[in-house]
């Protein structure tokens, strides 16, 4: 890891939110979005900007060095809050768009413009009609697409304590099929929509076997979970939100000061996703789903020396395993799994694969050799 200097960010500016995406699956084509508030030293007035950094150069040793120097600053007429990227189907097919919530109570959509070779705000909510029904300042946005890309679930949580969940049918004109609104007395800083079973890409040698054994997944069988974080009240995990709206309380989330963030990831590598809650009380709470009693139970907790602000689960070490990155008020902490336990887990799963008598045309002995 190293520091990358981004242009058009004065030393006196305050960075509000940041997000990044690689538009390509075969090469480095990064886009980084940063929202800032800067103060004029002469007049004392504040101005807000959404800086979009993007470029790609094969001759450069680091793509980030090129990206950080190519900035498209967009001046904002509102104070920026949450910055999020997702995909939408436009005239040229699926493309990445930015969603930015603001102090004006709106969620603004920014998409690429071929004529200006930059980004501009989209007119209206044609691609996201659900945002017309969201009121108040939005603190978090999450979008879940079904595997066939014919439907999506959009969730927003707000400063007014309202959590909006929308089921949107994606056709030539996206339409809202169902809506659910949940309200609390205090702000809701996070909402996460996810499918409970973690999945990884199937190796090519096993594709035929897996498809033959499991078959295709029907979208109607998918019932996503929705984790909602509340700043001063208990957090909940919901299922069947448009039908029964069953909610499971996450114990102890209301006793560790303000809840600041929430992520969903497979922290123990067992194939099932866990819910991680970060708090200003310097504690990270980890919850596992007990399917037998249909409850989320406190699995583990981690105490840090300072308040937690944000978390992400990714391969920051570049070794093929995932680490938990925690941003706090005084620095960044990186947690990694015990490498010996990971090695044992990998070997046991390889043994299970080799125990299959016939996989994609290979016997178990031939598979072991490969």
Hey, which bits of 230-354 come out as E strands? Answer: 235-239, 246-250, 259-265, 274-279, 283-290, 295-303, 308-314, 323-328, 332-335
pLDDT at 199 over 80: no
Least confident of 62-66, 101-105, 123-127: 62-66
pLDDT: which is higher, 96 or 245: 96
Digit-coded pLDDT (tens) for 271-317 = 889 999 999 999 999 999 988 877 899 999 999 999 999 999 998 88
pLDDT of residue 154: 97
pLDDT of residue 365: 62
Q: Quick one: pLDDT band at residue 86, thresholds 50, 70, 90? A: very high
Digit-coded pLDDT (tens) for 332-368 = 999 998 888 888 888 887 777 776 545 555 555 665 6
Average pLDDT estimate for 104-108: 96
Give the C-alpha separation, 296 to 225, whole Å. 12
Terminal C-alpha separation, the chain? 35
**114 three-class SS:** coil
State the chain's mean pLDDT as an integer: 86
pLDDT of residue 113: 79
pLDDT: which is higher, 84 or 40: 84
Average pLDDT estimate for 155-182: 94
Cα–Cα nearest to 362, from 212, 213, 205, 214:
205
- Side by side, which strands form the sheet with 151-158? 138-145, 151-158, 162-169, 175-183
Digit-coded pLDDT (tens) for 2-42 = 788 999 998 889 999 999 998 777 777 789 999 999 988 77
Digit-coded pLDDT (tens) for 249-259 = 999 999 989 99
Cα–Cα nearest to 264, from 275, 253, 250:
275
Q: What are phi and psi of 72, to 5 degrees?
A: -115, 100
pLDDT of residue 167: 95
């Amino acid at each position: 890891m190293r520091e990358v200097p981004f242009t058009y960010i004065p030393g006196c500016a305050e960075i509000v939110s940041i997000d990044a995406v690689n538009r390509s699956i075969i090469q480095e084509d990064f886009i980084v979005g940063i929202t800032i508030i800067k103060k004029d030293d002469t007049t004392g007035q504040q101005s807000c900007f959404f800086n979009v950094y993007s470029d790609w150069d094969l001759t450069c040793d680091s793509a980030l060095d090129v990206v950080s120097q190519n900035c498209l600053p967009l001046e904002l007429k509102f104070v920026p809050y949450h910055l999020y990227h997702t995909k939408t189907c436009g005239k040229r097919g699926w493309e990445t768009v930015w969603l930015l919530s603001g102090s004006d109570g709106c969620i603004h959509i920014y998409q690429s413009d071929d004529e200006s070779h930059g980004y501009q705000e989209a007119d209206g909510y044609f691609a996201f009609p659900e945002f017309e029904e969201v009121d108040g300042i939005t603190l978090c946005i999450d979008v879940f697409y079904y595997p066939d890309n014919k439907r999506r679930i959009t969730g927003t949580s707000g400063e007014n304590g309202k959590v909006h969940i929308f089921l949107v049918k994606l056709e030539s004109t996206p339409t809202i099929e169902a809506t659910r609104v949940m309200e609390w007395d205090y702000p809701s800083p996070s909402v996460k929509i996810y499918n409970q079973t973690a999945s990884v890409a199937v190796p090519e040698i096993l594709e035929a076997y897996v498809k033959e054994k499991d078959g295709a997944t029907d979208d109607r069988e998918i019932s996503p979970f929705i984790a909602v974080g509340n700043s001063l009240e208990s957090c909940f995990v919901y299922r069947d939100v448009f039908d029964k709206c069953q909610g499971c309380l996450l114990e102890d989330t209301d006793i560790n000061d303000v809840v600041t963030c929430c992520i969903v990831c497979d922290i123990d590598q067992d194939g099932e996703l866990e819910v991680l809650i970060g708090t200003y009380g310097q504690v990270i709470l980890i919850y596992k789903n007990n399917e037998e009693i249909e409850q989320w139970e406190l699995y583990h907790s981690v105490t840090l020396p300072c308040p937690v602000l944000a978390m992400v689960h990714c391969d920051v070490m570049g070794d093929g395993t995932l680490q938990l990155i925690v941003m706090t008020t005084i620095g960044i902490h990186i947690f990694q799994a015990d490498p010996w336990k990971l090695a044992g887990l990998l070997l046991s799963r390889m043994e299970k694969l080799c125990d299959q008598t016939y996989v994609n045309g290979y016997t178990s002995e031939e598979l072991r050799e490969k």
